[in-house]
Amino acid sequence: MKIKSVRTRVWTWKGPTVPPQGNFCTNASDALWMKGDAMSSFRFHQWLTCEVETEDGTIGIGNAALAPSVVKKAIDDWYAPLVIGEDPFDYAYIWEKMYRRSHAWGRKGIGMTAISAIDIAIWDLMGKLVGKPVFKLLGGRTKEKIPVYYSKLYAGSIEAMQKEAEEAMKGGYKAFKSRFGFGPKDGMPGMRENVKRVEAVREVIGYDNDLMLECYMGWNLDYAKRMLPKLAPYEPRWLEEPVIADDVAGYAELNAMNIVPISGGEHEFSVIGCAELINRKAVSILQYDTNRVGGITAAQKINAIAEAAQIPVIPHAGQMHNYHLTMANTNCPISEYFPVFDVEVGNELFYYIFEGDPEAVDGYLQLDDDLPGLGITISDKHLQHFDIAE
Ligand SMILES: O=C(O)C(=O)C[C@@H](O)CO
Ligand SMILES: [Mg+2]
Q: What is the pLDDT along the chain (390 residues), one digit of tens a residue?
A: 999 999 999 999 999 999 877 789 999 999 998 777 888 888 899 999 999 999 999 999 999 999 999 999 999 999 999 999 999 999 999 999 999 999 999 999 999 999 999 999 999 999 999 999 999 999 999 999 999 999 999 999 999 999 999 999 999 999 999 999 999 999 999 999 999 999 999 999 999 999 999 999 999 999 999 999 999 999 999 999 999 999 999 999 999 999 999 999 999 999 999 999 999 999 999 999 999 999 999 999 999 999 999 999 999 999 999 999 999 999 999 999 999 989 988 999 999 999 999 999 999 999 999 999 999 999 999 999 999 999
CA-proximal residue: ligand 1, atom 1 (nearest): 317
Composition of the chain by helix, strand, coil, percent to 5? 40, 15, 40
Q: Using CA atoms, how far apart are residues 134 and 120, in angstroms rounded to an integer?
A: 10
Q: In a 3-state reduction of DSSP, which class is residue 286?
A: strand
Q: In a 3-state reduction of DSSP, which class is residue 108?
A: coil
- Other Cβ atoms less than 10 A from the Cβ of 281: the count is 14
CA-proximal residue: ligand 1, atom 3 (nearest): 316
Is the CB of 316 inside a 6 Å radius of any atom of ligand 1? yes
Sheet holding 46-54, edge to edge: 59-64, 46-54, 3-13, 386-389
**pLDDT value for 35:** 75
From the CA of 154, give the closest atom in ligand 1: 10
Is the CB of 263 inside a 6 Å radius of any atom of ligand 1? no
**pLDDT value for 107:** 97
Q: Using CA atoms, how far apart are residues 224 and 364, in angstroms rounded to an integer?
A: 32
- Cα dihedral 216, 264, 96, 300, rounded to 10, equals -130
From the CA of 338, give the closest atom in ligand 1: 1
**pLDDT value for 21:** 79
Burial 79-92 (b: 16+ CB within 10 A, else e): bbebbeebebeebe
Measured from the alpha carbon of residue 317, the closest ligand is 1
Is the CB of 216 inside a 6 Å radius of any atom of ligand 1? yes
pTM, 2 dp: 0.98
From the CA of 347, give the closest atom in ligand 1: 8
Q: Going by C-beta distance under 8 Å and a sequence separation of 6 or more, which residues neighbour residue 380?
A: none
CA-proximal residue: ligand 1, atom 6 (nearest): 347
Is the CB of 290 inside a 6 Å radius of any atom of ligand 1? no
| C-beta separation of 69 from 53 below 8 A | no
**pLDDT value for 40:** 82
Test site for ligand 1: of 42, 216, 241, 341, most ligand atoms within 8 A of the Cβ? 216
| C-beta separation of 361 from 174 below 8 A | no
Kindly give the distance from the C-alpha atom of residue 217 to the centroid of ligand 2, in angstroms, as a whole number.
8
Question: 91-101 and 295-308 helices cross at what angle (nearest 10)?
Answer: 100
Q: In a 3-state reduction of DSSP, which class is residue 197?
A: helix
Q: In whole angstroms, what separates CA 155 from the centre of its chain?
A: 19
| C-beta separation of 131 from 301 below 8 A | no
Measured from the alpha carbon of residue 347, the closest ligand is 1
**pLDDT value for 38:** 83
Kindly give the distance from the C-alpha atom of residue 110 to the centroid of ligand 1, in angstroms, as a whole number.
19
Is the CB of 214 inside a 6 Å radius of any atom of ligand 1? yes
Kindly give the distance from the C-alpha atom of residue 266 to the centroid of ligand 1, in angstroms, as a whole number.
9
Q: Going by C-beta distance under 8 Å and a sequence separation of 6 or more, which residues neighbour residue 22?
A: 156, 181
CA geometry: angle at 40 spanning 28 and 181, to 5°?
55
- Cα dihedral 367, 373, 377, 378, rounded to 10, equals 120
From the CA of 39, give the closest atom in ligand 1: 8
Kindly give the distance from the C-alpha atom of residue 347 to the centroid of ligand 2, in angstroms, as a whole number.
11
Measured from the alpha carbon of residue 149, the closest ligand is 1
Is the CB of 345 inside a 6 Å radius of any atom of ligand 1? yes
Q: Going by C-beta distance under 8 Å and a sequence separation of 6 or more, which residues neighbour residue 183?
A: 26, 30, 190, 215, 218, 219, 220, 223
Is the CB of 266 inside a 6 Å radius of any atom of ligand 1? yes
From the CA of 179, give the closest atom in ligand 1: 10
Nearest Cα residue to 125 out of 53, 69, 176, 181:
53
Kindly give the distance from the C-alpha atom of residue 131 to the centroid of ligand 2, in angstroms, as a whole number.
34
